Amino acid sequence: KQMILQGTGAVEVKSGYGLTVESEIKMLRVIQRLKSVFPIPIKATFLAAHAYPHEFKDNHQGYIDLIINEMLPQIAAEKLADYIDVFCERGFFSVDETEQILVAGSTYGLKPKIHANQLSISGAVEIAVKNNAISVDHLEETNEETIEILKSSSTIATLLPSCSFYLGIPFANAKSLVDADIAVALASDFNPGSTPSGNMNFVVSLGCIKLKLQPEQAINAATLNGAAAMEISSDYGSIAIGKRANFFITKPMPSIAYLPYSFGETQIETIILNGEIYNG
């Protein structure tokens, strides 16, 4: 509810904070319940491959087998997730382990996404593009090879500047991605460990201040390209004939640049969801 009141019109929610069969299934079931409560599109992503639980720290394949043989069949049977995600990073899931999990997920109809290049150039982007990932999230670390690989694909680069802000890590090189005509989305990465905020207006502000995007680019990344990263851009993400009547009416502003400029204020005056005023 708070995210909607701050300007969010669609959301992808990931599991990955329990790392047991019971807790991962529970989180995904809660996401399904949210879909029935709130009038915005909600997509669910299965992210048990977020880290290795303590009991599997010396038995990585054992945990991967648990994901593939126990979690995935139940998730598929209950239709609990749209996507599967893996944190592909040194010290977490290797490129080979990531591909093993993504391929298994695809057999159950879960489309791939990847946590890529948050801490290092890990090879995650290559494996994402190879497996037709919908998006790669993070990309705080990039190089020319990363950009060239993304440039040849339809994979969306989802940047998470509020995570960089909170953790004090480098910000993604958004300008190089945009200059290469790569579709860039902005998202909050709202989670209890590294980004305890779902305020997308702040994300758009950081997109301008820290990622050096123009206001129009940052807003487009947070709306239309964000919708594309959820595969709903044909119905959401912009105001256009034939799309759903979901939009946020702001207070009068001197220019579009005022939206990211006034990062400490809420400029929303009226919320329209599915053609009706939403009051929370």
What Cα–Cα distance (Å) separates residue 210 from each residue in 159, 166, 240, 267? 12, 13, 30, 21
Q: Which domain, by its residues, includes 107?
A: 2-241
Instruction: Kindly report the pTM of this predicted structure.
Output: 0.94
**Exposure b/e, 69-103, CB count within 10 A at least 16 = b:** eebbeebbeeebbbbbbbbbbeebbbeebbbbbbe
- Are 76 and 108 within 8 A, CB to CB? yes
Q: What is the pLDDT of residue 135?
A: 98
Q: How far apart are CA 168 and CA 214, in angstroms?
A: 23
The answer to the question of residue 36 being in a domain is: yes
Sheet holding 42-49, edge to edge: 11-14, 42-49, 83-88, 111-116, 135-138, 156-159, 184-186
The answer to the question of residue 110 being in a domain is: yes
Q: What is the pLDDT of residue 265?
A: 87
Name the token pair of 101.
């999990």
Q: How many domains does the chain have?
A: 1
- Per-residue pLDDT tens listing for the chain (280 residues): 999 999 999 999 999 999 899 999 999 999 999 999 999 999 999 999 999 999 999 999 999 999 999 999 999 999 999 999 999 998 899 999 999 999 999 999 999 999 999 989 989 999 999 999 999 999 999 999 999 999 999 999 999 999 999 999 999 999 999 999 999 999 999 999 999 999 999 999 999 999 999 999 999 999 999 999 999 999 999 999 999 999 999 999 999 999 999 988 889 999 999 999 999 8
Please identify which residue in the block is written with the tokens 């991967």: 64
The answer to the question of residue 231 being in a domain is: yes
Q: What is the pLDDT of residue 280?
A: 82
The answer to the question of residue 125 being in a domain is: yes
Q: What is the pLDDT of residue 264?
A: 83
Q: What is the pLDDT of residue 141?
A: 95
**Exposure b/e, 126-145, CB count within 10 A at least 16 = b:** bbbbebebbbbbbbbbbeee
Is 58 exposed, middle or buried (CB count within 10 Å of its CB: 0-12, 13-18, 19+)?
exposed
DSSP type of residue 67? I
- Are 146 and 125 within 8 A, CB to CB? yes
Q: What are phi and psi of 249, to 5 degrees?
A: -95, 125
CATH code of the domain containing 211: 3.20.20.140
Q: Which residues contact 200 (CB under 8 A, 6 or more apart)?
A: 3, 6, 7, 8, 186, 188, 222
The answer to the question of residue 25 being in a domain is: yes
The answer to the question of residue 123 being in a domain is: yes
Q: What is the pLDDT of residue 266?
A: 87
The answer to the question of residue 196 being in a domain is: yes
Q: How far apart are CA 36 and CA 200, in angstroms?
A: 23
